[in-house]
A and B are shown apart, each in its own frame.
Chain A
Amino acid sequence: MSSGWRRYLRFFGPDVPGDVDDELSFHLDMRARDYAERGLDPSAARHAAEERFGDVGRISAALRAHDEHLVRTHNRRAVVDDLRQDLLYALRSLRRAPAFSIVAVLTLALGTGANTAVFSVVDALLLRGLPYPRSAELVSVSGTTLAEFTRIRALATSFSDVASYRASSVGVSGDAEPERVDAASVSANLLSLIGVKPELGRTFVADENTQGRANVAVLSHGIWMRRFAGNREILGKAVIIEGTPYTIVGVMPVDFAFPDRGVQIWTPVETPPAGSGAFWGSGGYRIVARLRDGVTIARAQQEARTLYARIGRENPIWNPGPKYGTDAKVAALQQTLVGSARTMLWLLLGVVAIVLLIACANVANLLLVRDSNGTRRRSRTLAPSAAH
């Protein structure tokens, strides 16, 4: 490499090996030239110069190691110095203009705060899985009646278990002030399908969906603490729901929620007789299932559509028509629960991101305005000192 080219590279930092080579070869060349002037032929002169110098390789390596260490320490120190200077400068200018600092900090804080708030919601609802064991296996299946649920549960091979629930609002009374709370009417296997163990007592057993056995209830941790003061002797006691006494059999843990945070009481649905109009006709139920190992959502959906064609033919009450069940869907439960909020949430995240950008632009504008004022002031104060 020519030394002229190296001078350009030097712009990006010292060229340690090149410099060491330059210094040592200069010495050897000069010594060889002196020997040659005294009458030695060039190669002998070169040889003599190297002999007199000693071990060129060793010395050059030692010098490189030394210089590189020096450059590294120097660079490190320069970075730290710059950083400290910038920080001190920032602090000084913040203190000099408190009003400006407060406005800038507030603007950025609002922008950042909005983003953090929305992002934590997006994170909880969209990015993290549902808070249930192996929640990736949980799917929702199309269907609204108990007949559809019962038949899917009996026939489908894609699922390890299928459950159903219907959200409602019930009046609770008897033990304290009457109040209205959100509740869910569920198939007996729902809570065990979700896979969360109760904190106290048990969840429902299979025959509690049958008529006359269904007057049992599982409480949420919230209502247990609030209405029953966390009393551990609550099991076996009665709670009056819609005027009917239900025996409390269990309490769910504090962070459990299904299908949403509002639901305080779970009761088993009382299944009507298999051939009845209520069985085939009363809707409002949702079906949730756990996929068997290795079964994909697409395969489960295909099976569900086949089964629905059969269920349509089985219907003793009316003929639902040839299109019945052809658009049946199986989808990840998380998608179904979050539902339309999904688009809204992403939209909201985009909006607050733009708000943050605008906040940044505003602060930048403030800085520009302030800086142009400052420049004028500075140029006045600097003018006299420019004289000498």
Chain B
Amino acid sequence: MPARTDTGDLLQGTLGILILKSLLAGPSHGYGIARWVESTTDDVLRIEEGSLYPALRRLEDRGWVRSEWGLSENNRRARFYTITAAGRAHLRTEASVWMRYANAVTQVLRAAPAVS
């Protein structure tokens, strides 16, 4: 089993970015988002799944996602979330900030002398 970071390490903003990114592929319910995060991160970022839902409400309040009720793949009533135009714009900004930050940290860590 790969090493995993603790749920507590995941900042709320980061969770929001993960959700928005997962919704780029198309509308999904909360469980679908959880599965997407799980599979794309190889279960490294194992989030406490319950915290997804308050995060979704916050995104909806800000107008970055909207939701509507529909039927799931196994014909159950489920709430589907869709990313909005504002959500895409927000994701672009946040993603570029993240990339620059990650690059900077990577550069620091790669600088001589080597860490290990």
* B-contact 0/1 string along A23-47, CB 8 Å cutoff: 1101101110000000000000000
Whether the Cβ atoms of B79 and A59 lie closer than 8 Å is no
Judged by a CB distance under 8 angstroms, whether A228 is at the interface is: no
A70 to B57, CA, bound (A): 10
Q: Which of B48, B51, B57, B77 contacts A26 (CB 8 A)?
A: B77
With A26-B29, A26-B31: A54-B51 Cβ-Cβ less than 8 Å: yes
Are A27 and B30 closer than 8 Å at their CB atoms? yes
Residues 234-261 of A contacting B (Cβ, < 8 Å): none
What's the interface size class on B, roughly? Answer: 10 to 19
Contact (A3, B51) CB under 8 Å given A27-B30, A27-B34, A66-B57: no
* B50 in contact (CB, < 8 A): yes
Q: Is the CB of B31 within 8 A of A31?
A: yes
Shortest Cβ distance from B82 into chain A, in angstroms? Answer: 15
Closest to A58 in B: B50
A interface residues, how many (CB within 8 angstroms)? 21
CB pair B54–A62 under 8 Å, yes or no, is yes
Q: Which B residues are in CB contact (< 8 Å) with A29? A: 76
Q: Is the CB of A53 within 8 A of B49?
A: yes
In the bound complex, what is the Cα–Cα distance between A55 and B51 (angstroms)? Answer: 9
Q: Which secondary structure characterizes the binding site on chain B? A: helix
Contact bitstring B22-42, A, C-beta under 8 A = 1, else 0: 000000011100100000000
- How distant is the Cα of A23 from the Cα of B50 in the complex, in angstroms? 11
What secondary structure prevails in chain A residues at the interface with B?
helix
A52 at interface (Cβ–Cβ under 8 A)? Answer: yes
Residue A328 interfacial (CB < 8 Å) = no
| A63 touches B (CB below 8 Å) | yes
Partner of B48, one of A23, A30, A53, A67: A53
Measured in the bound complex, the distance between the Cα atoms of B58 and A62 in whole Å is 12
Chain A residues with CB below 8 A from B69, complex form: 19
The minimal Cβ–Cβ distance linking A46 to chain B, given in whole angstroms, is 14
B78 interface neighbour in A26, A54, A55, A66, Cβ under 8 Å: A26
- The chain B residues found within 8 Å of chain A, CB to CB, are 29-31, 34, 48-51, 53-54, 57, 61, 69, 72, 76-79
Query: Can you pick out 29 interface pairs between chain A and chain B where the beta carbons lie within 8 Å of each other?
Result: A3-B77, A19-B69, A19-B79, A22-B77, A22-B78, A22-B79, A23-B29, A23-B30, A23-B53, A24-B53, A26-B30, A26-B31, A26-B76, A26-B79, A27-B34, A29-B76, A30-B72, A53-B48, A53-B49, A54-B49, A54-B51, A55-B50, A59-B51, A59-B53, A63-B53, A63-B54, A66-B54, A67-B57, A70-B61
